[in-house]
């Protein structure tokens, strides 16, 4: 910190009660990989012209190389693979399960039936489906958790389950990113040890399909400024500066995007933690996976403040401030 104003800001935040804690994380990442060149070959077979220079530029500038590709497990089995380790470690009753999905699987209770049958902690759990905020849906789940815990802090835990399985190869590689299959589980509790969450910020989208030409143009021209604005808003809510934050854990969108945001914020690129090269874009689980990796790699230490931010197509955005 180094000045009285920063010290006072941190003291105020430490005296503030967190909305909830991230108590545990677990994920399932398939071993088979779908590469950029696999996607290009598929698109070329469909008649699309893609030059080698375009492929090389996509890999160099955006940072995508490969992404996990599920070839055997069903969506139901992927969910079980992600949730089982977490549920085995925790015995808290789950009051609410929030199902985050970018594939519009909808609210299908049968997806969770094996888990409900196996774990007493899931008996009587209310299940909600969240997906309309596209890739920013995880932070919408955090926002809902904030309201639920603020209303009652004695109702048990909240489990956020996310899954993506893109069965159509042409959906895996787009003009802007390479998508991967994955599933994740995130346990929230109103008290106790874990990552304290102090602020959650959400921005609704304004583009819902490609027919809105003006909206698409606005989204493209304000994309980077929107990310900068979300980060600045969450810092303002917490009365912190960017220097007080150890990491910004972002979506696995293009590396070029985060380079641009770092420039706009006048922040070092090292402050941004993403796993674009390693796993590509995991639409519903980028943040959960990246956070678990940051902990495993020692990029976050006890007491560090960090920001998570999801960027969704059409202007949807989610951002939160946490303390490890």
pLDDT digit string, tens, across residues 293-321? 999 999 999 999 999 999 876 678 899 99
Q: State the pLDDT at residue 185.
A: 98
* Domain co-membership, 177 together with 263: no
Within this chain, do residues 208 and 172 fall inside the same structural domain, yes or no?
no
In a domain, 59, yes or no: no
Residues 74, 173, single domain; the answer is yes
Q: What is the mean pLDDT of residues 82-105?
A: 88
Q: Classify residue 47: in a domain, yes or no.
A: no
Identify whether 138 is part of a domain. yes
Chosen domain end from 166, 189, 212: 189
Mean pLDDT, residues 198-204: 87
pLDDT given for residue 2 in this prediction:
40
Positive or negative torsion for Cα 113, 118, 124, 130: negative
The fraction of the chain above a pLDDT of 70, given in percent, is 85
Domain-ending residue, one of 165, 189, 213: 189
Average pLDDT over residues 67-74: 93
Residues 173 and 212 in one domain: no
Q: Give just the sign of the alpha carbon dihedral 228, 158, 22, 134.
A: negative
pLDDT in tens, 128-171: 988 777 788 999 999 999 999 988 877 689 999 999 987 655 56
Residue 314 is predicted with a pLDDT of 64
Question: What ranges make up the beta strands (E) of the chain?
Answer: 20-28, 33-35, 66-68, 94-101, 126-130, 157-164, 182-189, 195-203, 245-250, 272-273, 305-311, 317-323
For residues 26 and 160, membership in a common domain is answered with yes
Do 102 and 26 share a structural domain?
yes
Is residue 247 domain-shared with residue 294, that is, in the same domain? Answer: yes
Residue 127 covered by a domain = yes
Residues 161 and 12 in one domain: no
173 and 216 both lie in a single domain = no
Q: Which among 300, 258, 301, 296 has a CA at the least distance from the CA of 277?
A: 258
Decide: 309 and 251 in contact? Cβ < 8 Å.
yes
pLDDT above 70 for 3:
no
Of 160, 189, 218, at which residue does a domain stop?
189
- The range of the structural domain enclosing residue 315 comes to 4-16+195-323
> What is the SS3 assignment for 226?
helix
Q: Residue 171: what pLDDT?
A: 63
Instruction: Locate the DSSP E strands across 210-265.
Output: 245-250
Q: pLDDT at residue 210 above 50?
A: yes
Q: Is residue 38 part of a domain?
A: no
What's the domain count of the chain? 2
| Residue at 133 is within a domain | yes
Tens digit of each residue's pLDDT (9 = 90 or more) over 6-38: 444 454 566 678 999 999 999 999 998 889 998
pLDDT value of position 273 = 98
Query: Which residues, including other chains, have CB under 8 Å from residue 182's CB and lie 6 or more apart?
Result: 27, 28, 29, 30, 68, 78, 162, 163, 164, 279, 282, 284, 285, 289
Same domain, 278 and 252: yes
- Are residue 161 and residue 307 in the same domain, yes or no? no
Above pLDDT 90, what percent of the chain? 60
The structure's pTM equals 0.89
Which residues are registered as beta bridge partners of 323? 196, 305
CATH number at residue 93: 3.40.47.10
Give the closest residue to 66 by CA, choosing from 41, 103, 37, 44: 37
212 and 185 in one domain? no
Lowest pLDDT segment from 23-32, 163-172, 247-256, 277-286: 163-172
């Amino acid at each position: 910190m180094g000045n009285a104003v920063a010290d006072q800001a941190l003291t105020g935040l430490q005296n503030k009660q967190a909305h909830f804690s991230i108590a545990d994380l677990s994920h399932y990442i398939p071993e088979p990989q779908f590469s950029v060149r696999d996607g290009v070959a598929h698109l070329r077979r469909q008649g699309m012209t893609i030059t080698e220079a375009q492929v090389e530029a996509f890999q160099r500038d955006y940072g995508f190389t490969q992404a996990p590709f599920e070839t055997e497990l069903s969506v139901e089995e992927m969910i079980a693979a992600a949730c089982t380790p977490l549920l085995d470690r925790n015995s808290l009753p789950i009051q609410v399960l929030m199902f985050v999905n970018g594939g519009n699987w909808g609210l299908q209770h049968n997806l969770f039936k094996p888990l409900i049958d196996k774990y007493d902690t899931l008996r009587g759990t209310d299940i909600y489906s969240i997906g309309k905020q596209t890739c920013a849906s995880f932070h919408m789940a955090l926002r809902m958790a904030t309201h639920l815990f603020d209303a009652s802090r004695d109702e048990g835990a909240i489990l956020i389950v996310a899954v993506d399985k893109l069965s159509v190869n042409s959906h895996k590689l787009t003009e802007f990113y390479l998508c991967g299959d994955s599933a994740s589980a995130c346990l929230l509790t109103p008290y106790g040890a874990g990552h304290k969450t102090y602020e959650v910020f959400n921005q609704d989208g304004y583009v819902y399909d490609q027919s809105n030409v003006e909206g698409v143009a606005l989204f493209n021209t304000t994309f980077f400024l929107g990310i900068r604005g979300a980060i600045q808003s969450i810092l303002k809510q917490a009365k912190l500066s960017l220097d007080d934050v150890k990491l910004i854990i972002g979506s696995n969108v293009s590396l070029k995007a985060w380079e641009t945001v770092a420039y706009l914020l006048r922040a070092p690129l090292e402050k941004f933690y993403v796993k674009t090269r390693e796993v590509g874009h995991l639409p519903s689980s980028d943040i959960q996976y990246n956070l678990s990796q940051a902990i495993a790699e020692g990029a976050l230490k006890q007491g560090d403040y960090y920001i998570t931010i999801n960027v969704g197509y059409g202007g949807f955005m989610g951002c939160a401030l946490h303390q490890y």
